[in-house]
Amino acid sequence: MKKVVAAVLSAALVASTAVAGTTSTPVTVNANVLSSCMFDTTAAKLASFTYDAIVGTSGAVSGGATLYCNAGTSLTVNTAATGAVVLNSASKSKSLNATYALTSVANAGAGTGSYAGADQYVYTLAATAAAGQWGAPTAADYTGSVDINVTF
């Protein structure tokens, strides 16, 4: 009886391997990589200064922002390289007029951390205020902003 069971099992194994077959085909995967850019808000620096109506600001103070784009992204900066910015006092309803100069340095592939391999653009904004703005009352809450706008 053992011989009969062994013969039947052997025949079943041979029959199942003879019937089985395999085949394969490749499936092509394509990607369209879009241009992407993002300012690193954790790297933003304020341009903060103390103003004196007699001398203005003693020199340009710098703030800035860092932009990361995927490698090879072409971009255009839409913000003027120089311009005016009005700083408004929240408590005095008055303003202080300042000027700015915006510069940038491009560093291809310099991104690190979560931006590893990205193209890095470091923007520096230097702000100054001219002397003689006697109408700006004493207050520590003057604020304004310059939007760094890029198209990619």
Annotate the chain with three-state secondary structure.
CHHHHHHHHHHHHHHHHHHCCCCCCCCCCCCCCCCCEEECHHHCECCCCCCECCCECCCCEEEEEEEEECCCCCCEECCCCEEEEEEEECCCCCEEEEEEEEEEEEECCCCCHHHCCCEEEEEEEEEECCCCCCCCCCCCCEECCCCCCEEC
For residue 144, tell me if it sits in a domain. yes
CA neighbours closer than 13 Å in the CB half-sphere of residue 82 = 3
**Summary mean pLDDT of the chain:** 90
What pLDDT sits at residue 60? 82
The string of pLDDT tens digits covering residues 59-74 is 888 999 999 999 999 9
- Predicted local distance difference test score (pLDDT) of residue 139: 96
- What is the pLDDT, as a whole number, of residue 59? 80
For 71-91, the pLDDT digits (tens) are 999 999 999 999 999 999 999
CB 129 within 8 A of CB 96: yes
In this structure, is residue 89 part of a structural domain? yes
Query: Residue 2's pLDDT band (boundaries 50, 70, 90)?
Result: low
pLDDT-above-90 percentage for the chain: 82
Q: If you average pLDDT over residues 99-114, what whole number do you get? A: 96
In a domain, 116, yes or no: yes
| Domain range for 116 | 36-151
Residue 90 in domain: yes
10 within some domain: no
* The pLDDT value given to residue 48: 92
Written as six digits, the tokens of 126 are 């230097």
Encode pLDDT of 47-57 as tens digits. Answer: 999 999 999 98
Radius of gyration of the chain (CA): 33
Please name the residue that has the structure tokens 């992407």. 36
Asked, for residue 12, whether it belongs to a domain, the answer is: no
Q: Report the alpha-carbon distance of residue 43 to residue 130 in Å, rounded.
A: 28
Residue 28 counted as domain residue: no
- Number of domains comprising the chain: 1
The four Cα atoms 130, 133, 136, 142 give a dihedral, to 10 degrees, of: -10
CA atoms within 13 A on the CB side of 39: 12
